Amino acid sequence: MQGVNASPTTASMPARLLNRSIGKKILMSFSGLVLLGYVVGHLIGNLQIFVGQNALNAYAVFLHSIGAWLWIIRAFLLAMLIIHVWTALRLYFENRAARPIGYKRKVYQEATLSSRTMIWTGIGVFLFVVYHLMHFTLIITNPQYSHLEDALGRHDVYSMVILGFQNYLISAVYIVSIAIVSYHVAHASKSMFQTWGLNDTNFEKILHPATVIFAWLIFLGYVSIPIAVLTGFVKLPEGVI
Amino acid sequence: MNLTLYVWRQKNAGDKGRMDKYEAKDISPDMSFLEMLDVVNEDLEREGKDPIAFDHDCREGICGTCSLNVNGVAHGPEKGTTVCQLHMRNFKDGDKIYIEPWRAKAFPVVKDLIVDRSAFDRIMQAGGFVSVGTGGAPDANAIPISKEAAEDAFDAAACIGCGACVAACKNASAMLFVAAKVSHLANLPQGKVEAKRRVVNMINQMDLEGFGNCTNYYECQAACPKEISVKFIAQMNREYFRSLRYKEK
């Protein structure tokens, strides 16, 4: 039994954001939007592999040249990731607690599989990000790429990516991971607009297909890179082992 | 037709409960689902057994009292219908039917298929009203209200508070119910005055009751017997944004 709380309007704005269910939706959607922005930006940067070795390596040098800004951006992304993961875990456990006894039989009519598996695809995305950073940023899993240099003495990101994806196992893991990311994005990008209150029945007709197309573009964009490497469309430059 | 029922039986709130099997014999396809249960109960009473307890009142789909999860769907397989208006012609001879109560921490089982939905009443007490006396029915168009606002308010007001949205939601969230009540009043001039205070208080009470959080599954609108749209949840979210800085004076 629960009494009616007479004066919840005394709660401060941060308390309403952190503790109320709609507040948590707001945190989830805005941190998610930032991370989604990163996913798009990262894709655009990576697609320079199709322009050539010089373009991609110059882009890598540019990213490192912004110095302090790079770390500010990284810290901001990390903060958003922590908010997103922390809120997701709170939601997951609270929502489980809200139904202590489940149904013997449960049929979903409208809830999509991607919406119901967000926590699991989310964990998948997280594990992939950890591995991906160890692979290409920290260069822990394949340390032999760390000394690659191009003709101008820059770190040869271009060759590192190609050597990485020439490994079938790495490419397979990557393609599956990107599929999980895109599946996560499919629900997220639609859900975001609903959370912000930008949904109505007319908008829904445009919004839903648009978010599906968006998720597919993310998938195809990222997957095009290992596919191009495996099919030999993008080749190692001369002189690299 | 003859059916096999698997029904949740639970003596009282403290009992663990279990699914029991019953045979429903000679059921007419013209019976409603609740009439079918009445027939089963008459048989049980004749045998000196405890009849299956379930909530019902108007049996015409407008009161929001009946509350059965039928074969995994709140109010059963027919869309936009309460379970009292679900007819046996939706089933066929030999069907197995699972009947369970609404499942949510905030809706504890009282007995068998009956749950305590007073959590909804407390959410209403927290803000689902207009404080000033609005008098008798005003003259038509004495207060100008746009057609869109009137339509939206009316669509939201169709909520009968049955709790199917909670029952259907994977998270047992009450967002569609609260959204319907918030939007109904926020769309009308009489309700606009207290809109900010209302949404804060009702959301607060909803959370206190132990309902889950909304994660936009939209299963609620699929289960709603009044087909209330999740666009009202979007509207409530907007109302909540506006109220983030609101403080009682």
**A127: in domain:** yes
**A10: in domain:** no
Question: Which structural domain range is residue A73 located in?
Answer: 21-97+111-230
Taking a C-beta distance cutoff of 8 angstroms, is the pair B22, B47 a contact? Answer: no
Chain A interface, best mutation among B218, B224, B232, by max A CB count within 10 A: B218
**A176: in domain:** yes
Nearest CA in chain B to A88: B215
Closest in B103, B203, B209 to A20, CB measured: B203
pLDDT for residue A9:
66
**A104: in domain:** no
CB contact under 8 A, A4 and B122: yes
CATH topology of domain B117-243: Fumarate Reductase Iron-sulfur Protein; Chain B, domain 2 (1.10.1060)
pLDDT of A205 over the 90 cut: no
pLDDT for residue B135:
81
Looking at chain A, the whole-number percentage of residues with pLDDT higher than 70 is 94
| Same fold flag, B3-110 and B117-243 | no
pLDDT: which is higher, A205 or B95: B95
pLDDT-based confidence at A1, cuts 50/70/90? very low
pLDDT of A239 over the 80 cut: no
**A3: in domain:** no
**A77: in domain:** yes
Token readout for B96 is: 């197995």
**A158: in domain:** yes
Domains in chain A, number? 1
Question: Rounded to a whole number, what is the distance in Å from the CA of A179 to chain B's nearest CA?
Answer: 21
Which of A140-144, A192-196, A220-224, B53-57 is predicted least confidently?
Answer: A140-144
pLDDT of A137 over the 90 cut: no
pLDDT of B89 over the 50 cut: yes
pLDDT for residue A2:
57
- Report ipTM for this prediction: 0.90
CATH topology of domain B3-110: Ubiquitin-like (UB roll) (3.10.20)
**A11: in domain:** no
pLDDT of B196 over the 90 cut: yes
pLDDT of A241 over the 70 cut: no
pLDDT of A203 over the 60 cut: yes
Q: Where are the domains of chain B?
A: 3-110, 117-243
Instruction: For residues A111-115, give the mean pLDDT.
Output: 91
